[in-house]
């Protein structure tokens, strides 16, 4: 771990501008609402730290009402729309195409006018609407409600994204948009029989930063999301200071009437580094009165249900899965699956754990692979750290952190996945991405496998990294890269956020960078995304395989980044002496909390086991320094842990010296 004194002025500025970027006045985050906030969550049962969400779900009549209300707003605004509704685990319950709605949505070009990666593409409007609905559902929980406008705020080159914020570090979740990918081997696809409702489902475009997606709640429990495409654009909001009039956002917000997020957990009540997040630029009071809207008066008068290849084939509304049930794909662990009674796991719909504890598959490469007992101890210790950690992105204050924790070997094979009861769903796929990313870029195979990719663009990141690090042998296992260090190298400015500096070697230059084109991360999956969108549009009969990137196999049918690369903090590699043997990834709360749970959880497991550990200090990426000239220098960062992180404890600097 190491600090960066050169960014202290930027952090002070960020804290000072918090009030300027908070929702207020007519852009007040949607706090004018017909229903009050629910009562606080129930006290956890004896012996537990958490209360599982109540068994709520969207009924067919609920979905019909959401569609009718959104369509009524669209008609009042003269903006016929495509409207999608999903449940909490991403099942598409309905897609309504209003008469006259746009067929597609255009992704904007880069700032220099170029079309790098998926910039400049025109995507099916249905795909855009589904991605927005999934984003609202996946980023939210009983403790936080995030919209796609919230997502826009936290994935750009500066946080907060505004002209006045130039020079500040990138958004804390920069890169999360390239998760839940349609090529992911974790995210489920449409299937018949008992697996029909298994989640988390994939998204056609990953997570969305385009305003017009919100979570849906019943009795304080997130049950799904709504997404709208009406304006022909699939972009993001580069200026958080102003207040926009966005047709997609107005229509989607109208659809949430009666299913609103509780006021107290909306993003505009949650701060990051002194800045309140943004939920919406539209207040409920500024919408058309949609009370009384009915599905019978909507279909077919205003439009019809629209089948979407790979997502909504039936043209008939489906009820949502009850999150936490076997049918949803996420349920409470049994005592034989995990020792902590608060633990939840992924399930196959028939009672089987999709990712049970298991030993590593890579003994031929590493000598002594992670054993099943070691896997259990690592996950137990990380879960214990999470259970005592104070959350960053949840309300009320002093809530406990809730995350998903994933352990992988050096092949990227999951050795176990466990999560808390109400962790946001997006963290399932992301925790696996993070773990695989740390294991891959710390591996001796990283450079050779990237240089074997069929894309010259992908291959170009290896010499760029070696030149940047002044190391002709970079990416061959000599350095332990955490996901925070990977993120440092994957930002469009290095040092992060400072104008006038070149990009990190894993990033696009700022003139070609956008949330749709981040660098190596987006280059690895460009062909997968193009293939899938062609499939969704009906132009191809062949979908992307359930394996992201075209890297060589580490084992038959398994590459090391099978669900994509992730570039924001929350994962550390695992070593036995100087030998890399795997990685631990965490996602679902603030990035410092994610870092701490992975790093400290592994350190505690190392103390208990005595057979493995965090990377040796001399190998960690924070030993790499850069001379910035003028007497300034900086270094990569390894992890950053909260200063006083635990509820009911005065412990400070808990990662120091480990």
152 neighbors 236 (Cβ within 8 angstroms): yes
Quick one: tokens of 346? 């992924």
Residue 8 CB: number of other CB atoms within 10 A? 10
Domain-wise residue ranges, the chain: 5-35+57-305, 329-442+569-616
- Record the tokens describing residue 278, joined without a space: 């943004």
Per-residue confidence band for 42, with pLDDT thresholds at 50, 70 and 90:
low
| First-residue to last-residue Cα distance in the chain | 9
Q: Across the chain, what does the average pLDDT equal? A: 92
What's the pLDDT tens digit per position in 85-133?
Answer: 999 999 999 999 999 999 999 999 999 999 999 999 999 999 999 999 9
CB atoms within 10 A of CB 301: 12
- Transcribe 460-484 into DSSP letters: HHHHHHHHHTT-TTTTSSSSB--HH
Q: 78: left (phi > 0), else alpha (psi -120 to 50), else beta?
A: left
- Fill in the DSSP letter of residue 555: B
Contacts of 630 (CB under 8 A, 6+ apart): none
Q: Is the pLDDT of residue 390 over 90?
A: yes
Beta-ladder partners of 634:
626
pLDDT, tens only, 526-576: 999 999 999 999 999 999 999 999 999 998 999 999 999 999 999 999 999
pLDDT(6) > 80:
no
SS (H, E, C) 43-71: CCCCCCCCCCCCCCCCCHHHHHHHHHHHH
| pLDDT for the residue 37 | 47
CATH topology for the 5-35+57-305 domain: Beta-Lactamase (3.30.450)
CA atoms within 13 A on the CB side of 574: 36
Phi first, then psi: give them for residue 414, nearest 5 degrees: -65, 130
In contact, 445 and 554? CB cutoff 8 Å: yes
CA dihedral 395, 397, 400, 402 (to 10 degrees): 30
- 207 by DSSP, 3-state: which? coil
Q: DSSP of 237-257, one letter per residue?
A: -S-SSS----HHHHHHHHHTT
Whether 207 contacts 135, CB under 8 Å: yes
pLDDT at 24: 31
Is 179's pLDDT higher than 50? yes
Please give the model's pTM, rounded to 2 decimal places.
0.94
Contact 255, 93 (CB under 8 A): no
pLDDT band at 209 (very low <50, low <70, confident <90, very high): very high
Please state, in angstroms and rounded to a whole number, the distance separating the CA atoms of residues 259 and 66. 8
Burial zone of 648 (CB within 10 Å; 0-12 exposed, 13-18 middle, 19+ buried): exposed
Q: What is the largest CA-CA distance in the chain?
A: 71
Secondary structure element (H or E) that encloses residue 613, with its range: strand 613-614
- Fold agreement (5-35+57-305, 329-442+569-616): yes
Coil, strand or helix: which one is 158? coil
- H or E stretch at 626: strand 625-629
Q: Which tokens hold the place of 505?
A: 């070697």
What top-level class would CATH report for the domain 329-442+569-616?
alpha beta
Could you give the count of Cα atoms lying within 13 Å of 116 in the half-sphere of its Cβ?
25
């Amino acid at each position: 771990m190491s600090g960066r004194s050169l960014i202290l002025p930027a952090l002070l500025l960020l804290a000072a501008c918090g009030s300027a970027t908070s929702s207020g006045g007519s852009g007040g985050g949607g706090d004018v609402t017909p229903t009050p906030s629910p009562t606080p969550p129930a006290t956890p049962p004896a012996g537990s730290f958490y209360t599982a969400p109540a068994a709520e779900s969207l009924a067919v009549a609920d979905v019909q009402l959401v569609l009718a209300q959104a369509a009524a707003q669209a008609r009042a605004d003269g903006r016929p729309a495509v409207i999608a509704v999903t449940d909490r685990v991403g099942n598409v319950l309905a897609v309504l195409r209003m008469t006259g709605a746009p067929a597609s949505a255009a992704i904007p070009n880069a700032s220099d006018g170029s079309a790098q990666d998926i910039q400049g593409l025109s995507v099916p409007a249905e795909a855009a609407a589904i991605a927005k609905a999934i984003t609202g559902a996946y980023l939210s929980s009983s403790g936080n409600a995030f919209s796609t406008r919230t997502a826009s705020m936290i994935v750009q080159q500066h946080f907060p994204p505004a002209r006045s914020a130039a020079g500040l570090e990138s958004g804390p979740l920069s890169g999360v948009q390239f998760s839940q990918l349609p090529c992911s081997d974790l995210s489920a696809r449409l299937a018949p029989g008992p697996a029909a409702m298994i989640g988390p489902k994939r998204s056609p475009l990953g997570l969305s930063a385009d305003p017009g997606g919100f979570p849906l709640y019943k009795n304080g429990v997130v049950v799904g999301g709504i997404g709208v495409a009406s304006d022909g654009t699939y972009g993001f909001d580069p200026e958080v200071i102003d207040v926009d009039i966005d047709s997609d956002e107005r229509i989607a917000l109208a659809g949430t009437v009666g299913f609103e997020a509780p006021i107290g957990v909306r993003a505009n009540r949650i701060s990051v580094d002194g800045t309140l997040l943004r939920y919406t630029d539209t207040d409920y009071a500024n919408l058309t009165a949609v009370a009384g809207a009915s599905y019978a008066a909507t279909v077919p008068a205003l439009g019809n249900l629209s089948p979407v290849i790979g997502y909504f084939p039936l043209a008939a509304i489906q009820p949502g899965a009850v999150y936490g049930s076997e049918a949803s794909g996420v349920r409470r662990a049994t005592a034989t699956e995990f020792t902590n009674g608060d633990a939840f796991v992924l399930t196959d719909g028939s009672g089987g754990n999709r990712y049970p504890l298991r030993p590593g598959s890579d003994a031929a490469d590493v000598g002594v692979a992670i054993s099943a007992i070691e896997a259990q101890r690592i996950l137990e210790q990380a879960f214990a750290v999470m259970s005592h950690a104070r959350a960053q992105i949840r309300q009320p204050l002093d809530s406990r952190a809730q995350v998903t924790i994933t352990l992988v070997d050096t092949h990227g094979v999951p050795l176990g996945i466990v999560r808390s009861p109400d962790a946001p769903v997006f963290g399932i796929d992301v925790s696996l991405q993070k773990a695989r990313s740390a294991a891959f870029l710390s591996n001796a195979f990283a450079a050779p496998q990237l240089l074997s990719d069929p894309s010259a663009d992908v291959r170009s990141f290896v010499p760029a990294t070696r030149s940047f690090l002044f190391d002709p042998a970079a990416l061959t296992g000599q350095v332990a890269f955490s996901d925070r260090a990977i993120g440092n190298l994957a930002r469009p400015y290095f040092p992060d956020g400072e104008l006038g500096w070149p990009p990190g070697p894993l990033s696009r230059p700022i003139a070609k960078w956008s949330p749709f084109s981040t660098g190596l991360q987006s280059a690895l999956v460009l062909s997968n995304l193009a293939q899938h969108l062609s499939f969704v549009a009906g132009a191809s009969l062949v979908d992307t395989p359930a394996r992201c990137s075209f890297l060589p196999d580490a084992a038959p049918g398994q590459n090391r980044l099978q669900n994509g690369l992730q570039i924001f903090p929350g994962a550390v590699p695992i070593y036995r002496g100087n030998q890399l043997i795997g990685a631990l990834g965490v996602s679902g709360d603030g990035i410092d909390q994610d870092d701490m749970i992975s790093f400290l959880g592994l350190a505690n497991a190392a103390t208990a086991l005595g057979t493995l550990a965090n990377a040796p200090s001399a190998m960690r990426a924070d030993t790499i320094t850069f001379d910035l000239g003028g007497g300034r220098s900086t270094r990569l960062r390894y992890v950053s842990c909260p200063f006083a992180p635990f509820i009911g404890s005065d412990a400070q600097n808990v990662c120091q010296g480990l």
